[in-house]
Amino acid sequence: MQPPDYCREIEAYLCRKNDGHLIRVTGPSFDLVAGWAERGVPIKVAFKGIDRYFERYYRNGPRRRPVKIDFCEADVLDVFDEWRRATGVTGAATAPPGAEPDSLDDGIHDSESRQPSLPEHLKRVVLRLTSARSAETLDVSFDPLIDRAATELDAARRAARGVRGAARQALIDRLESLDREFLQQARALLDDATRTALAGEADDELAPFRGRIGPEAFAHARERAIDRLVRERCRLPVVAYRY
């Protein structure tokens, strides 16, 4: 998608979020959004960033005025950063054409320093798994896996504060293994049409990077992009600790 088309899509989406009130994406706002397109921010990732801003805006009380796209930039870039981590597309692959290596991440709101500690992460995962089952957002076939994972993770959480070195790495590896187990089970529940649709969506997201990274890296990113979409569809928490 070329920047002008990308900006029109963003403008239309912002209009819908603003209950039909049109806020034009022109001038500096156009340059801002065009920069997202040049960097390779997938349009649906940008939509999620806009959604995140609106969710926070509504939590602060009744909306007072229509939202301009400029206000959403930090959230769009945060969601893009999360997407990059999930797919493994980083560095030069996300730089606008002609960017210098030292400036590849300029403007990206890297939330590394705000990420939870390992014990905090374990606590969140246990709570999300429990909540997912209580709300029946996961298929009942996940129940045995949830029981086993929740018991294991709760025990790990109590011990995690004193875990160092090889023991800590072993725990992180175990979280990665559990995460794959959840994803494999989720994938197995999908029908062929859904698998094809998610693969097509992943291809659309990664299209801007097809010429920027090698075939092997692209194939790896594609699988991770599909995993991310499967996770969203099944409302799976991220069990793996990748901070």
Please report, rounded to a whole number, the percentage of residues in the chain having pLDDT higher than 70.
Answer: 85
Residues 94, 84 contacting (CB under 8 angstroms): yes
- The pLDDT score that the predictor gives to residue 91 is 56
- The pLDDT score that the predictor gives to residue 114 is 54
Q: Which residues of the chain have pLDDT under 70?
A: 63, 91-115, 135-137, 160-162, 243
- The pLDDT score that the predictor gives to residue 109 is 37
- The pLDDT score that the predictor gives to residue 137 is 67
C-alpha dihedral, 157 to 158 to 164 to 165, nearest 10°: -50
pTM > 0.85: no
- The pLDDT score that the predictor gives to residue 103 is 34
Alpha-carbon gap, residue 80 to 36, rounded angstroms = 9
